[in-house]
Structure 1
Amino acid sequence: MSNDLSMLDADAAKEQKLMYGDDHDLDQNYPNRPKNLHKTLPFHCLFTELFNPLLDATKARKPVGARRRQGPSGHSTTSPQEAKRNIIERFVANWRKQVGNDFYPAIRLIIPDKDRDRAMYGLKEKAIAKILIKVTKINKDSEDAKSMINWKLPSRLDRASSSAGDFAGRCFEVLSRRPLKTGVGDMTIAEVNSTLDQLSQVGGEDQQTSIFKRFYRRMNPEELTWLIRIILRQMKIGATEKTILDIWHPDAEVLFNISSNLRRVCWELYDPDLRLDGDNTGITLMQCFQPQLANFQNKVGSFEKMVARLKPTLEDNTFWIEEKLDGERIQLHMVEDHDAPGGKLFGFWSRKAKDYAYLYGKHLEGEHAGALTRFIQEAFGSNVRNIILDGEMITWDMDIDHIVGFGTLKTAAISEKENRNGTNTGQRPLFRVFDCLYLNDKLLTPYTLRDRRNALKSAVKGVHRRLEIHPYIEANNANEIEPQLRKVVAEASEGLVLKNPRSMYRLNDRNDDWVKVKPEYMDEFGESLDCVVVGGYFGSGHRGGVHSSFLCGLLVNKHAVEGDPDFEKVHSFFKVGGGFSRDDYAAIRGRTEDKWKDWDQKRPPHLIELGGHTENRQHERPDQWIRPSESVVLECKAASVEASDKFRMNITLRFPRFKQLRTDKKWADALSISEFMELKAAAEQEQDQRNKAFNIEQSRRKRPRTTKKPLVVAGSGNISAPYAGPRTKLFQGLEFFIMTDQTSPVKRTKSDLEDMVKANGGKIVQRDSDGNNLVVVADKRLVKVSSLEKRGTISIVKPIWISDCIQQASLDTNAIPYVLPFEPNRHMFYLRDDDLEELEANVDPNGDSYTRDLNDVDELRDMLGRMPSKDENAFNRDEFISQLGSHAHSLKELQNYIFTNMRVYFSQCEKPGWDMSVRIASNRIEFGGGRITDARLGATHVVVPDDGASLKHEKNMDITGLARLVGLAWIERCWLEGTRVDEERFQWG
């Protein structure tokens, strides 16, 4: 198709300008890009011709076998996979015919989660619900408004509503009762893209509401529903981006993996007959790519089986053990550029293709030197002209010389960006490199990991606590994994990654060459615990409207009788949502139906005490609750026990998993607090005797200081007046644990601060406690302060808050004295992630308090100087949640992923009907992502008849190694449940 603008009709030319503005820059970067000859399709065509047909094909749930097979009437039938491909192929062909070869406007709406050109909208479900309430002018106290805000709960208007857990579906129910348009709207795909671009660039709710009003006027409820799914980037249309890209062009997936750029995929590969050559299929400098990922190891079994999946050979059985870091995956590109300050140009991209050069730096010197580049002039060898490194960006605390949580990374980077003098204290970003993919114009991905590591060592010298090569341990035996796992867990790390040193680097692939090993695979807390259910949480998606997870607790006094204050009283202990099958949910529902009550936050049940233990601080609050005497007992198992203030016990289970419903036990037989503490003590004693201590308190131990901290003498030198009783009641009811002197903006000793508190009605304590009225104060990161931070149970306040409260009280002479709400930047020395959202509500977007008067002009100047650029430094909550969400195992909820990574061997058997049963089961395995193998060696599962007939037939069958011997019923049950169920119930041998 010619790109001559003279061939475009008037509507097409108008749309080109609407979507792309001035074409001059685009024509320079993409001189051969296609231009559509006609106007883009109406937006409703996306769901009438693509989304809805794909969902219908998914719901058909036909077994997958041969592409074409004979139906009952003799006619050929189509498999679901082929049916879906046909739907996509028809849509693409129709687009080429009616619009042109520029598919980019459509594909960025079809797979919006892969669109890197459009910024995040800053909108999640509740924010969209509030906007729709304004747009439709619904009373915010109406049932419709409440049903959108509380979208996970069953609708009060229709308790049987299928939209519970489906926010877009709930919006459709509400919008369909008050549509402005009943027929389809007239917005084109180009217009929708242009309007979404505007939505991604505005920041205030008023502007967002104005844009939604525009959509509401021009779309019917179904169109708005799909628009909401696009904004949330939660499509679930029954086809993966791999399928869609492959149908657009055979090389589309390859180009996307090396560029992370849908625009480039659509504009360079618009002709299916033009293929990429070998030089264009590898990563390139200063072009973001999709990195290799480590495989999950759920239900994998022993460490021996994990090692076996790393493909050892007789000549080389080594594997590498690396610590799994709690940071953000980052790729670093560096090229020589004599025009750049310092002679080098840098690029930084995240796994989601977010450009972080603005934060970590583009140059070694000058205004574009960032939080990392200004300190790594000596990081590379003198002969390195260009390089691409793969690694993890973490936060390192120099005061305790240890890694700290991922949530502090961006704050540390912003702070370090302004650290012109390179102060060797506080928190800073540290780039840990574990792979080298490109060096001096040479692509290294086809080489083995061992060779790439050798290249890395020769090219990177590193800079201490700025850019370092991540260490690894070379191992030959699975027994070497557990000691390393215990070591990293004791240091509060995430776990390990096992790597095959003989493997190549595979872009955008999650395979067995890299394997995650997390503490959940350790059988530490081996005892199964029988606990009573006291709360339920509604799920989303296919579990919408029903309980998908449960709150379990420990009985306070199981011997208490009715009329006793402790009768039926329970302390919350853990939340469990994994391991349940459909039958398990049905059994629990059958035994507890009509016994659940909605949780009232203002009047919580006295029988159940949650974390926080007040009306306003009800951590892990369930959607519904149930009396213990009317509830059930669940047997659960966990990896370990860890400290947590989210539960009333102040400890909880780590990675709890449901094992079975204890129908043989009454509620009073469930575990009590005293019984659990005895059980825990016995488990810890047994571990000590085996010299495998895995104490839950190890994460709280004080880390020895590696360097001696210089003595700092604080104080203004003034003699404090003796304490003469309270002068005000400002701090009455509060307890203060003051840990250090004040260092800024003025110096005060710890004693001075205590006198100020006592003079205003506060109480001084000398240790932290679980009280809700405790204020912990510190201004220096001493060892004891760092230890408290590491526990992460309480936020720490700077001493300036005390003086701010006193000064504000003196200004408001006509008002009752009140303590100021905490301000995140000014008042917090250490801020827990769980408290961040609450404290951010105390200040406006620029950090100005809603309640505290500014002290002077200097403070106003400081506040204005800290104001971040809108695009550079603003915290994007939705992007953060999206990153967390990328670690979720959401694919396992799809039926075509349930058998991923399985290699199945079907036993030979002459039992009547066995061959037909094997054919059906094979189809299900392949549809679910598994593979059928003709050899037992290398199989992960060996399937035999449920009566074990083939065991007699194959007396010498070797089922050692990876293989698990299961009955055919296990595959059938997995298929019915839509998830991989516990194998032990169906296992032979």
Structure 2
Amino acid sequence: MPDADASKEELRMYGEGTELDEKYPHRPHNLHKTLPFHSLFTELFNPLLDSTKKNRPPAARRRQGPQGQSNLSPHEARRHIIEKYIAKWRKDVGHDFYPAMRLMIPEKDRDRAMYGLKEKAIAKLLIKVTRIDKDSDDAKSMMNWKLPGQPYKSATSTAGDFAGRCFEVLSKRQLKAQLGSMTIADVNAALDELSQVGTEDRQISIFKKFYRSMNAEEMTWLIRMILRQMKIGATEKTILDIWHPDAETLFNVSSNLRRVCWELYDTKLRLDGGETAITLMQCFQPQLAAFQKQVGSFDKIVSRLKPTPDDDAFWIEEKLDGERMQLHMIDDPSLPGGKRFGFWSRKAKDYAYLYGESFDLNGGSALTRFIRDAFPSNVNNIILDGEMITWDMDLDHIVGFGTLKTAAISEKESRTDNGTGQRPLFRVFDCLYLNDTDLTPYVLRERRKALATAVKSVHRRLEIHPYTEAHSHTAIEPELRKVVANASEGLVLKNPRSMYRLNERNEDWIKVKPEYMSEFGESLDCVIIGGYFGSGHRGGAHSSFLCGLLVNKNALPGDPDYEKCYSFFKVGGGFSKEDYASVRGRTEGKWKDWDPKRPPHIIELGGHAENRQHERPDQWIKPSESLVVECKAASVETSDKFRMTLTLRFPRFKQLRTDKKWQDALSIDEFLELKANAEREHNEKEKEFEIEQSRRKKARTIKKPLVVVGNETFDAPYAGPKTQIFEGLTFYIMTDQLHPEKKTKAELEALVKANGGKIIQRESNDKTMIVVADRRLVKVSSLEKRDSHNIVKPIWIHDCIRQAETDVGAPAFVLPFEPNRHMFYLLDGDLEDYERHVDENGDSYTRDIASVDELRQLLSLMPQKFESDFDDGSIADHLDGHENSFDGLKSHIFSNTAVYFAESNDPVWALQSQLANNYVRFGGGVVVDSKYKKITHLVAPKGQHSAGLEIGTSPLPRTVGYEWVEKCWQEGTRVDEERFQWG
């Protein structure tokens, strides 16, 4: 039985348990009090951060990591730390781990409401709690946590780290020098109260309680929990997996951390199939789209959608600029219309209060009262996946995501449907549940059929999102041109043969965004008028800049418009360290802190006339004391965030224009003229493109070759891509292929013939004959016993063809045999020779890894020397929607580049080109020879331009020096080529 203290804690955290007991009749109860709050960072967070061997937050630098684990890999050490803490909890507290779990991964706890507190709000509360002067250096240090050390000398090391800045301030005036006595239950109860209060006085009262009971280190970790910015060195996937083998699965279908902890407290009990499926009125974690990897290589993107000879279709959808939303509807006779609705965002936020819980016409919903006709009477329940967007009825066009909540609130409060203004529109692209049937195991094509029968579009309220079916990668570019013309988000390519996979970012859905295509870019020279301080490794310095357009460049000193600028866009991508240093050096001492109460009259920001504070910079600078920068972007779009009401979409820095004075920067009139010219040229090109398309003959339909056997004629099986990779080789194929996919013996023979090989049907004494088998039939076993030939698996054939396709421009060659992957039977005398083709872990020296599954298998065989539970899904979630998503990831620097290195007799050039060659390959680029016609960059010694390229290379590549490749690699970003261009 629980002791008295445990019962009191449970009552304080959960209240009366009647309702919870009904919902979770078998929920665990703790026998003793929860562990002290400080145990979370002394025994869990700090040791985890130590195990990552990275710099820890300032509040966590005093304690050492776990002892006696020097023989463990970092991954094993992290698992050991988490397992040890959970085991201690079970032993000293009980089986209810939910109180600790919601503090370990607070961003996943949807039972606790948002606090409504960001960094500056917390800083104001702490200033009042600690009773320090709001004009003191420490107060300014917390309020301006992104600013560098001066004039706040104590803050130098924590610029951009709010919790670290708070630690520096609180550590000088903490009431408790030792660790406090608050338990995890105490903290949870106080945080629940904090999430419910709405006045500053109540918030101050709660923070005073924390301040009196905690030392500075405890307060720092508490602040990280409130901000939901933990960064403890382990992902939620790792923590959930250690808690229970089915924990991640249950969380994916329910988004409910409480349920995960209370239903899966016993690791011996496993979920059955029904419990791992999505259910009505339970928010699940949706499937996500993968990022485009090969920029502009649409044929390779389509190949990732796994087309088959019989079904090469893929779907093209417009990517919408809105909020991912799931709609649930169930029968409920107690409500108007007999239906109950649930709405949840991708982050599991409940939006039923906004979009509606029923069909009630008078209930003040932003959506459901308008969609009574969307569902036929035979639809009892349903789950829809889609995007909530803002539609402007006057423009009859989608508008930016930032207007969604405002439009929804306005529509909720409106009592009439006047057909004007902005409103929320739910675009549905998937049906995942229908009339008590889970549809996620069905392929997308079947789910869309169900959607078409179960939902009727309601004009500009709830609509089925259209798609275009395509069979060739050539269909992508015209569709992308359309969305670029409409300033849309981009495209999503989908595999109609795919099932729905929860909480995965996989290649069944692939995003293609127009910002990846340089042909839509423009270069503009604009003046810097503001600066924003960065966080993390860019803390304490300007990491991005606000650029503006001159109102009247002909104005003279004394005129009202002299130096006056309208804000236009922010830019932070493309700067090298030298660029940042140059800006800093040329503008040092000229920056002024932005005072929102007294903004400079020469700089106008976006927003309403009475309060123009949108995209407010941390500091501003006079145009006459500033610099001109050249930037490029994907397109121009409308935005109320900037005074121009226009802005650049995905701007990127090209170079500093030190040759230009501030008066030479672009003015409003000049920009509008450039914009009009660009639009006119774009329209002319579109017309030319359409004319050219109409002139082209339709592609001829090529029938499959026929095979005659006896008196009968059969369609030959698909033979795959044609190369001459097997020219001069003889194959004796003995069996069908079983792994990794099934293929008949006839299909394998056709594949070999299509790629230049010769087929024989009986064994010969020719030692160069390649024997292929994947099943141990009698004739195969007989050949093994004779010990006369090596026997190769069919996967070797596929690997050779795939490698020939991958190495574009390189001489084709057959791959050497790999003992484990390729050999079905291996002669003892050849083992040592074949082992030379792979490293000690079985990784080939000549063959590219074929799939993610192979990479996982290879990594599983390697010793655990490095981080192994890196959460690619989480980082993708973090990057999704941010400009310059892959900045700083060196493996992506040279994506979408095909680089040719010029030949030269200069011995220095030989060394430079070899090093640059490695940089390009490691950075995701392709090194090609002069026969490849789509070369993007020619790297050559100074003065040597297109020499060595074959006639007909088109378009003519940019000629750059070795220094360009080296600079890109040093900076971790692709710097502009024009600075390093010879031609």
**TM-score interval w.r.t. the shorter chain?**
0.5 to 0.7
| Number of the residue aligned with 1:227 | 222
Task: Give the 3-state SS of the residue equivalent to 2:617 in structure 1.
Answer: coil
Q: Within 2, Cα distance between the matches of 1:430 and 1:554?
A: 34
Whole-angstrom CA distance in 1 between matches of 2:42 and 2:476 = 53
Inter-partner Cα distance in structure 2 for 1:578 and 1:411? 30
Report if the CA contact (8 A) 2:637-2:648 is conserved.
Answer: yes
The equivalent of 1:140 in structure 2 is 134
Shift of 1:109: 0.7
- Asked if structure 2 preserves the Cα contact closer than 8 Å seen for 1:891 and 1:897, the reply is no
Shift of 1:377: 4.4
1:41 equivalent in structure 2: 35
* Correspondence for 1:25 among 16, 19, 22: 19
User: Would the aligned equivalents of 1:527 and 1:637 in 2 still touch at CA under 8 Å?
Assistant: yes
Q: What pairs up with 1:527-676 in 2 under 5 angstroms?
A: 527-554=522-549, 572-599=567-594, 617=612, 620-626=615-621, 631-643=626-638, 647=642, 651-661=646-656, 676=671
What is residue 283 of structure 1 aligned with on the other side? 278
Tell me by how many angstroms 1:648 deviates: 5.9
Q: Which stretch shifts more, 433-442 or 623-632?
A: 623-632
2-structure distance, mates of 1:555, 1:121: 41
Q: Partner letter of residue 91 of structure 2?
A: K
| Matched residue, 2:305 | 310
Q: TM-score, normalised by structure 1?
A: 0.65
- What are the Cα deviations for residues 656-694 of structure 1, in whole angstroms up to 9, with x where unaligned? 112344567676775566765564454334223313699
Q: 1:206 aligns with which of 195, 201, 226?
A: 201
Instruction: Choose which of 103, 123, 130 in structure 1 pairs with 2:97.
Output: 103
1:380-779 residue pairs with structure 2 within 5 A? 380-396=375-391, 403=398, 406=401, 409=404, 429-488=424-483, 490-491=485-486, 493-523=488-518, 526-554=521-549, 572-599=567-594, 617=612, 620-626=615-621, 631-643=626-638, 647=642, 651-661=646-656, 676=671, 679-691=674-686
| 2:197 is the counterpart of 1:197 | no
* Alpha-carbon distance in structure 1 between the residues aligned to 2:921 and 2:24: 44
- Secondary structure of the 1:432 match is strand
Q: Distance in 2 between matches of 1:969 and 1:93?
A: 55
Between 1:50-59 and 1:500-509, the stretch displaced more is 50-59
1:130 match: secondary structure: helix
> Would you say the 8 A contact 2:655–2:976 is kept in 1?
no
Contact 1:602 1:615 in 2 (8 A): no
CA distance in structure 2 between the partners assigned to 1:673 and 1:416 by the alignment: 35
Q: 2:177 matched to which residue of 1?
A: 182
Question: For the structure 1 residues 668 and 421, does the alpha-carbon distance in structure 2 shift closer, same or farther, using more than 3 Å as the test?
Answer: closer
> Contact 2:36–2:183 at 8 Å: present in 1 too?
yes
Partner secondary structure for residue 690 of structure 1: helix
> What's the secondary structure of 1:161's corresponding residue?
helix
TM-aligned CA distance change 1:299 to 1:185, over 3 Å: farther
User: What do residues 447-495 of structure 1 show as CA deviations (whole Å, max 9, x unaligned)?
Assistant: 2111110121122234444433222222234443444444445555444
Deviation at 1:85?
Answer: 2.8
**Alignment partner of 1:9 is 2:24:** no
Corresponding residue for 1:237? Answer: 232
Aligned equivalent of 1:832: none
8 Å contact from structure 1 (residues 60, 80) kept in 2:
no
From the superposition, tell whether residues 317 and 187 of structure 1 become closer, same or farther in structure 2 (CA, over 3 Å): same
Contact 2:385–2:431 (Cα < 8 Å) also in 1: yes
Equivalent residue letter for 1:278: G
Counterpart of 1:691 in 2: which secondary structure? helix
Cα distance in 2, alignment partners of residues 969 and 616 from structure 1 = 47
Match of 2:123 in 1: 129
Change (3 A) 1:634 1:491: closer
CA contact (8 A) 1:581 1:981 kept: no
| Structure 2 counterpart of 1:263, from 258, 261, 264 | 258
**CA–CA distance in 2 between the matches of 1:654 and 1:253?**
37
Q: Distance in 2 between matches of 1:275 and 1:485?
A: 46
Indicate the SS of the match to 2:330. strand
Distance verdict in 2 for CA 1:505–1:100, change over 3 Å: same
1:510, distance to aligned residue in structure 2 (A): 2.1
What residue in structure 1 maps to residue 326 of structure 2?
331
Residues 633 and 15 of structure 1: CA distance in aligned 2, closer, same or farther (over 3 Å): same
Give the Cα–Cα distance (whole angstroms) in 1 for the partners of residues 576 and 50 of structure 2: 25
Using the alignment, how far apart are the partners of 2:607 and 2:197 within structure 1?
A: 37
Change (3 A) 1:922 1:93: farther
- Equivalent AA in structure 1 for residue 75 of structure 2: Q
Which position in structure 2 is the counterpart of 1:56? Answer: 50
1:54 and 1:239 in contact (8 A); partners too: yes
Please provide the CA RMSD for this pair.
5.2
CA distance in structure 2 between the aligned counterparts of 1:371 and 1:304, rounded to whole angstroms: 42
Instruction: Tell me, in whole angstroms, the C-alpha distance in 1 between the residues paired with 2:300 and 2:26.
Output: 51
- Letter of the structure 2 residue corresponding to residue 512 of structure 1: E
Secondary structure class of the residue paired with 2:158: coil
CA distance in 2, matches of 1:29, 1:478: 51
Instruction: Kindly state the Cα deviation for residue 439 of structure 1 after the two structures are TM-superposed.
Output: 2.2
Runs of 5+ unmatched residues, structure 2: 57-68, 690-876, 901-909, 927-934, 942-948, 955-959
Distance 2:962 2:74 in 1: 23
Q: What percentage of aligned pairs have identical amino acids?
A: 71
Determine the C-alpha separation between the residues in 2 that align with 1:261 and 1:130. Answer: 33
Partner of 2:82: 88
Instruction: Give 1:367 deviation, angstroms.
Output: 8.3
Alpha-carbon contact 2:297-2:896 (below 8 Å) kept: no
Report the counterpart of residue 817 of structure 2 in structure 1.
Answer: none
- Alignment partner, residue 783 of structure 1: none
Provide structure 1 residue ranges, at least 5 long, that are not aligned to the other structure. 1-5, 63-74, 695-883, 933-940, 948-954, 961-965
Deviations 1:774-806 (A, max 9, x none): xxxxxxxxxxxxxxxxxxxxxxxxxxxxxxxxx
Residues 39-48 or 565-574, more deviating = 565-574
Contact 2:894 2:974 in 1 (8 A): no
Offset of residue 970 of structure 1: 11
CA distance in 2, matches of 1:585, 1:638: 20
Relative to 1, partners in 2 of residues 1:611 and 1:282: Cα closer, same or farther, differing over 3 Å?
closer
Distance of 2:76 and 2:962 partners within structure 1? 27
The Cα shift of 1:300 comes to 3.1
When normalised by structure 2's length, the TM-score is 0.66
- Counterpart Cα distance in 1 of 2:303 and 2:271: 36
Equivalent pair of 2:428/2:462 in contact (CA under 8 Å): yes
- Alpha-carbon contact 1:684-1:693 (below 8 Å) kept: no
> Deviations 1:601-641 (Å, cap 9, x if unpaired)?
67766876666899974654433345667655433211123
Other structure's SS at 1:332 match? strand
Deviations 1:705-740 (A, max 9, x none): xxxxxxxxxxxxxxxxxxxxxxxxxxxxxxxxxxxx
In structure 2, do the counterparts of structure 1 residues 299 and 921 end up closer, same or farther at CA, with 3 Å as the change threshold?
A: closer
Task: Confirm or deny: 8 A CA contact 2:604 2:612 kept in the other structure.
Answer: no
Q: Distance in 1 between matches of 2:668 and 2:360?
A: 60
What code does the residue aligned with 1:220 have? N
> How far apart are residue 47 of structure 1 and its match?
1.5
Alpha-carbon distance change, 78 to 300 in structure 1, aligned in 2, over 3 angstroms = farther
Q: Match of 1:508, as an amino acid?
A: N
Letter in 1 for 2:173: R
